[in-house]
Amino acid sequence: MTDRPSGAELLKIARDALTRELVSELPESKLYLALMVANAMAIAARELELGDGADRAELTSLRMLFEDAGPDTSEDVPDRLEALNHRLCAEIRAGRFSGGAAETRLRDHLRRSAEARVAISNPKALKS
């Protein structure tokens, strides 16, 4: 059984109510704050919808970057992702990805990861 509406859907409904019904009733001094809240709600909804998938895609991309062919049995994606990102930083500093195919793979990973994060935080930026 699936609970409906989901958390992301509830945030969208609440945001729509805020922007369509309440914002026009607020004094101008509260308008900026209300729009900031609406924006935060939109980001939170996208995070609920896309965040886990973005994390798992980044984890897979990092494992491919490090040529880690074994299965990832980690249950804790955020911790594994953090550890691999620390490793990535250390290896970039050490020059492991300077030049050639390694640098191309690194750039591809960074572009994909950045696009996935921007899709959550500011998807309009990807359209331009």
C-alpha 93, offset from chain centre: 24
Cβ contacts of residue 81 below 8 Å, gap of 6+? 55, 58, 59, 62
Give the CB-side neighbour count of residue 37, counting CA atoms within 13 A.
Answer: 13
Task: Please write the tens of the pLDDT for every residue from 52-63.
Answer: 899 999 999 999
pLDDT tens digits, one per residue of 54-113: 999 999 999 999 887 666 666 788 888 999 999 999 999 999 999 999 999 999 999 999
Q: From residue 71, give the alpha-carbon distance in Å to each of 36, 75, 84.
A: 42, 12, 15
Distance of alpha carbon 66 from alpha carbon 106, whole angstroms: 10
Radius of gyration of the chain from its Cα atoms, rounded to whole angstroms: 19
